[in-house]
Structure 1
Amino acid sequence: MTIQTAVAAVLLALTATFASAQDATIRVAVQESGTVNWELDTIKHYGFDTENGFTLDVQGMAGGDAAQIAFQGGAVDMIVSDWIWVARQRAAGADFVFIPYSRAVGGMLVPANSTAQTLADMKGRKIGIAGGQLDKSWIILRAYAQQEYGFDLATETEQVFGAAPLIMNAATTGEVDGAINFWHFLARMKTAGMRELISVDTAAAALGLDPATPLLGYVVRGDMLRNQPELVAGMAKASAAAKAKLASDTAAWARLRDRMRVDDDAQFVALQNGFNAGTPAPGAVNLDAADKMLKVMADLGGTDLVGDVTALPDGLFYTPAE
C-alpha cells in the first residue's frame, strides 16, 4: 500500500466516522420553559443519550408553534406535541410518528371557599382556560358536562382564555370562579390553596375513555424511523431511563430545582409528584382507546382541532420492539 493510498484510507475512515457521529445526533426543539426540559436535562446529565447510541442536541424555542415550524421545515429532528396534532398532520399527508412521553393532564380548580361541588355548579360563572378554545382538557370537560348534567359549559359559562401564567394569577386572585390549566400550573395553584373540582382523568373515565392514553409525546419523521430505527429506539429508551431515574432518585430532582423555578418546598414536591404520575405505561398505545378519544375531540373541536382526520391514521404511534 502506497503512502497516498494509506492516507486516503485514513481520511475515508475519518469522514465515515464523522458522518456517523453526525447521523447519531438527535436535534430536538422544545419550548424553553416546558417541563419536558426536566427530562431532557436528565437524559443529558446522566448520559442516557450516549448510553443508547446517540447525542441529544436540545434547542430551546420561544413556544410550541416555533418548534413545530422548525420541525416541519427540517431544521430539527424532533419536537414534543400531542398526538391529535400528529394525527391531523398525518391525515394531511405528513409522515410524522408519535412516541409517548406523558399522560399528565389537567382539570378544573376552584377557590378553597367556593360553593361549587360539581361542574353543574359552574353554570353562570366565569372560567379561566389556558390553551385556547381547542384545549383538550376543556373539550373533555365540556363533553363530560353534557353527558352528566345535560348542558354545554361553552354556552352556560363565561370563559376567559389566556396564557397559563395569566390564568393561574386570575384564579388565585379571585378574578375567575374556576380555572382549567396545564398540569404543572395546577400543581402550583393547589399549593396556593385552590382545590380540584374535577380532574380530566375522572371526566375521561366517565366518558368511557382510557385515562392512561398518553396525550403528549416526542414527534419524529417516518423516514427517520425507517432509515435509523436504532436512533428512535434509543430515544425511547433514554426517555424511559430518565423517567425511572426521576421516579427513584431525589438527588436527580434536587439538581433540577433551580430550573423548575419553584417558590417553596410544597411546589417542588407537587411538581415532582405530578411529573412522575404522568409517566405512560410501557408498551404500545391502545388504539381503540385513542380512537374513542379522537371521536370526542372531533365532535366538539371539529375540523378546527382535528383537520381532515376521520379515523385514527395508520402508523401514528411508535411501537417499541419487544
Structure 2
Amino acid sequence: MNRDHVDAQQAAFDAHHDDPGDLPVMRARFEYNGSPRFLLYAIKRLDLDHRHGFHLDVQLVTDELESGMETIRHRLDEGDTDLVDTDYISVARERAAGANIVAFHPYGRTVGGLVAPEDTAIEGLADLSGHRLGVTRRLDKNWILTRAACRKFHDFDPAETATLVEADSRDDLTRLIRGGEVDAGFQFWPLVPELTETGRFVEVLPVSDLVQRLAGTDDKLPIATFVTGDSYLDAHPEAVRGFAAAAQDAVDHLLTRDDIWDDISRRLLPDATVASAVTTGWREMVVTEWGAETIAGMRRLFDHLHAVAGADALGVETIPDGTFWLDP
C-alpha cells in the first residue's frame, strides 16, 4: 500500500465534503482500492447527495483493517458507520448470525478473475487441480463460485485437489502472484488490469462467466450490494432512499460520460495506464437497478451454490428474511 496514494484519494473526496447543514449525514467507509469509490466520488463531485436530500461523508480505509465481516457488522450495529458494500451472501451470513444489517441497493457483479503468468498451463476450470491458488480469504466469493462451478461442470472440488493460499488482503495477493508464490490468484476485478496490462500475466478465468453459467440466466445479477444498519434505516429512511437515487444518477453519468473517468483516472487510480481497462470493466460490472425478479434470481443462484458447495462453504444455510430492502 502506498500511503501517499491513499491520502491523495482521500483529499480528492475531502475537496467535496462541504457543510452538511441540516441534511442527514450518511457516513460511508470504503476500501481505498475498491471500485465503489468511483461511484461515491461521482456522487460527491456532482453534488448528487445534497440534490437528493442527504450528506455523504466518505472515508477511505485499508482492506487489511476492513477485510473481516465482523468489523463491518460491528461498525454498522454500533453506529460507527452507516454505509458499506459487500456481497449479498455475506449479508445473509451475517444477518443469520444476528447482525442487524440490510442490503438496500445493488452495486454490481463484483467478482474477479483468475490471473496467472502468461506461460501458465491453466486454461480453465478443468486445469485447477494440483496448483497453488491464491485468494484473499477462504470465504472469498470468487473461490466459492469456482468450487461450485467445478463441482457442477467437472465433477471435482478444487478445495480437495488444489492447494489454497490465503493472502489476507488484495495487496498481499498481488504480491504473491507477482512473486510466483502461487500458480494463479483470484484477484478482485479492478486490480486485474494492474497485472495483465504489464504483459506478464493473463486472466485465464473471468469469474463473472461462472455467475451467469451457474445462475442459468442472461440477466446480469448483482453480487455486491450497498449495506446499512437496521438502526440507520429506521432513523433515516429518506437518506437511504436518497442514496439509492443518487447512486442511480451517478451510474447513468458514469455509463455515458468519459470526462468524469478522466478525473477519476487522475485522482483515484495509481496507474493511469490501466484507466481504459478499469472504465470498461466498471461499465460491464455495474448493475443499474433491481426488483423482485432480480432478487428471485439472486436467491436461485444462492440455492445453486448451496446445493453444490454446501453451507460450510457459504457460511449460511439460507437467506434470512429481511436481507433485502426494496423500498427505494
Q: Distance in 1 between matches of 2:315 and 2:216?
A: 18
CA shift at 1:184, angstroms? 1.1
Cross-structure match for 2:91: 86
In the alignment, is the contact (CA less than 8 A) between 1:141 and 1:200 conserved in 2?
A: yes
TM-score by length of 2: 0.81
Alignment equivalent of 1:274, drawn from 271, 281, 286? 281
CA shift at 1:22, angstroms? 4.8
Kindly name which structure, 1 or 2, has the bigger radius of gyration based on alpha carbons: 1
- Which runs of 5 or more residues in structure 1 are unaligned? 1-19
Cross-structure match for 2:191: 185
Q: Distance in 2 between matches of 1:28 and 1:165?
A: 22
**Deviation sequence 1:279-322 (CA, Å, 0-9, x none):** 11423162332223323554536357434xx332223223254x
Cross-structure match for 1:306: 315
CA shift at 1:55, angstroms? 0.9
Partner SS, residue 261 of structure 2: helix
Alignment equivalent of 1:196, drawn from 195, 200, 203? 203
Cross-structure match for 1:11: none
In the alignment, is the contact (CA less than 8 A) between 2:106 and 2:288 conserved in 1?
A: no
Cross-structure match for 1:40: 40
**Deviation sequence 1:45-84 (CA, Å, 0-9, x none):** 1100011111111133333244543222112222222222
In the alignment, is the contact (CA less than 8 A) between 1:28 and 1:57 conserved in 2?
A: yes
Change in 2 beyond 3 A, CA 1:169/1:208: same
In the alignment, is the contact (CA less than 8 A) between 1:104 and 1:274 conserved in 2?
A: no
Q: Distance in 2 between matches of 1:180 and 1:146?
A: 18
In the alignment, is the contact (CA less than 8 A) between 2:233 and 2:240 conserved in 1?
A: yes
Q: Distance in 2 between matches of 1:91 and 1:126?
A: 32
Partner SS, residue 282 of structure 1: coil
Q: Distance in 2 between matches of 1:303 and 1:114?
A: 31
Q: Distance in 2 between matches of 1:264 and 1:58?
A: 23
Out of 153-162 and 207-216, give the one that drifted further: 207-216
Q: How does 1:128-207 map to 2 (within 5 A)?
A: 128-129=134-135, 131-162=136-167, 163-193=169-199, 194-207=201-214
Q: Distance in 2 between matches of 1:84 and 1:222?
A: 17
- Which runs of 5 or more residues in structure 2 are unaligned? 1-19
How many aligned residue pairs are there?
A: 298
Percent identity, please.
27
Change in 2 beyond 3 A, CA 1:303/1:123: closer
Report the RMSD for the aligned CA atoms in angstroms: 2.5
In the alignment, is the contact (CA less than 8 A) between 1:61 and 1:67 conserved in 2?
A: no
Amino acid at match of 2:325: Y
Cross-structure match for 2:113: 107
